[in-house]
């Protein structure tokens, strides 16, 4: 089980992907340097993912700053002790408040071993995350990729990845999550880096070609 820690891991993975799947080579050439995007794991990181969903970066940053200021410290006990009205004043929606509370309860009770997810097999870590109400597969995969650092996770339900695959491989239609997951099997044990590559490729291709999706 590989854990992504450094830029050297990213480079090793990109070289491997280019060797084993020539179809990726044009994307590698166009995308440029692939960012590490490795963040400190733990409760705070998972909360950041929840808060940022379906928001622009600027909006997510503003709400996160208000949440930090309102709670003092973003930790399970603080969220559980703060009433909904105070959390709403930070800019949080009702659904996000419910999810944050569910995460806080799961972490506080030990039901979600947040600090051990990096050491767990990916299926077990994913199951632990999605067992918390409000956490779906995409959230779990993003956390495992960018916070826990698992190298072989792939968010096949991500629309940008699906669109990137369509462009990179000249597909007539955007692949379904199931089809993209099957396609990504060839990129193991570096599927999380393949995802980084496709996201980076999509940003460049979208800018150059005016792609929407």
Whether 49 and 124 map to the same domain: the answer is: yes
Quote the tokens at residue 168: 């990179």
Whether 132 and 71 map to the same domain: the answer is: yes
Q: Which CATH number do you get for residue 85? A: 1.10.340.30
Number of domains in the chain: 2
Whether 72 and 33 map to the same domain: the answer is: no
Per-residue pLDDT tens digits for 49-58: 999 999 999 9
**Does residue 197 have a pLDDT over 90?**
yes
Whether 177 and 132 map to the same domain: the answer is: no
Whether 49 and 132 map to the same domain: the answer is: yes
**Does residue 206 have a pLDDT over 90?**
no
In a domain, 172, yes or no: yes
Per-residue pLDDT tens digits for 130-151: 999 999 999 999 999 999 999 9
Whether 111 and 56 map to the same domain: the answer is: yes
Whether 115 and 30 map to the same domain: the answer is: no
Answer yes or no: are the C-beta atoms of 165 and 204 closer than 8 Å: no
In a domain, 73, yes or no: yes
Average pLDDT rounded to a whole number, residues 14-18 = 97
**Does residue 24 have a pLDDT over 50?**
yes
**Does residue 210 have a pLDDT over 70?**
no
Whether 103 and 81 map to the same domain: the answer is: yes
Question: How far is 150 from 146, CA to CA, in rounded Å?
Answer: 8
Whether 56 and 112 map to the same domain: the answer is: yes
Neighbours of 31 (CB within 10 A): 22
In a domain, 146, yes or no: no
Whether 48 and 130 map to the same domain: the answer is: yes
In a domain, 148, yes or no: no
Q: What is the pLDDT of residue 213?
A: 37
Q: Could you please report the per-residue DSSP string of 67-124?
A: HHHHHSS-SHHHHHHS-HHHHHHTT--HHHHHHHHHHHHHHHHTSS-GGGGGGS-HHH
Instruction: Report the percent of the chain where pLDDT is more than 90.
Output: 95
Domain boundary among 136, 167, 184: 136
pTM: 0.93
* Domain interval for residue 68: 43-136
Whether 71 and 128 map to the same domain: the answer is: yes
Q: What is the pLDDT of residue 1?
A: 84
Domain boundary among 136, 161, 188: 136
Whether 29 and 81 map to the same domain: the answer is: no
**Does residue 61 have a pLDDT over 80?**
yes
Q: What is the pLDDT of residue 209?
A: 52
Q: Which CATH number do you get for residue 19? A: 1.10.1670.40
């Amino acid at each position: 089980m590989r854990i992504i820690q450094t830029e050297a891991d990213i480079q090793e993975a990109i070289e491997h992907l280019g060797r084993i799947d020539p179809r990726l080579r044009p994307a590698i050439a166009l995308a440029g340097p692939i960012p590490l995007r490795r963040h400190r794991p733990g409760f705070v990181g998972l909360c950041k993912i929840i808060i940022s969903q379906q928001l622009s970066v600027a909006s997510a940053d503003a709400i996160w700053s208000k949440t930090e200021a309102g709670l003092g410290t973003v930790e399970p006990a603080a969220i559980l002790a703060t009433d909904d009205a105070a959390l709403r004043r930070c800019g949080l929606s009702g659904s996000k408040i419910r999810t944050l509370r569910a995460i806080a309860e799961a972490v506080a009770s030990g039901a979600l071993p947040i600090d051990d997810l990096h050491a767990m097999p990916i299926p077990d870590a994913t199951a632990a995350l999605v067992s918390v109400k409000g956490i779906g597969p995409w959230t779990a995969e993003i956390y495992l990729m960018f916070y826990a650092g698992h190298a072989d996770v792939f968010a096949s339900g991500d629309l940008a990845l699906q669109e990137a695959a369509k462009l990179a491989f000249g597909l007539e239609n955007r692949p379904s999550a199931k089809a993209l997951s099957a396609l990504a099997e060839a990129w193991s044990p570096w599927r999380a880096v393949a995802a980084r590559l496709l996201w980076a490729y999509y940003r460049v291709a979208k800018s150059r070609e005016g792609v929407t999706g």
